[in-house]
Amino acid sequence: MKKVILSMVFLLVFSVTAFASPVTDLAPGKVGIDLTYRTGPSMKLSNDSGSVDPKGKGNLDFGVTIGIADKWGIQYRQWDTTGKTWTNQGGNPETDKAYFKEANILYTLDKNLAAYIGFTQSKLTIEEGATTYGGKNKNKVQVGLIGKAPLGNNLTGYASIGAGSDLFNWEVGLSTKVWENAEFNVSYRGVKVNKLELDNLTPKFDYDVKGFGFGLNVKF
CA separation for the pair 15, 113 (Å, rounded): 7
Q: Are 82 and 125 in contact (CB under 8 A)?
A: no
Q: pLDDT tens per residue, the chain (220 residues)?
A: 444 444 444 444 333 333 335 444 567 888 989 999 999 899 999 998 889 998 899 999 999 999 999 889 999 999 999 999 999 988 999 999 999 999 999 998 887 789 999 999 999 999 999 999 999 999 999 999 998 888 888 898 999 999 999 999 999 999 999 988 899 999 999 999 999 999 877 789 999 999 999 999 998 8
Number of domains making up the chain: 1
Domain holding 164: CATH number? Answer: 2.40.160.20
CA separation for the pair 101, 139 (Å, rounded): 10
Please choose, from the candidates 84, 96, 74, the residue with its C-alpha nearest in 3D space to the C-alpha of residue 30. Answer: 74
- What's the burial of 196, exposed, middle or buried (CB within 10 Å: 0-12/13-18/19+)? buried
Domain encompassing residue 169: 2-219
What is the pLDDT at residue 149? 85
Q: Are 212 and 188 in contact (CB under 8 A)?
A: yes
Q: Is the pTM of this model over 0.75?
A: yes
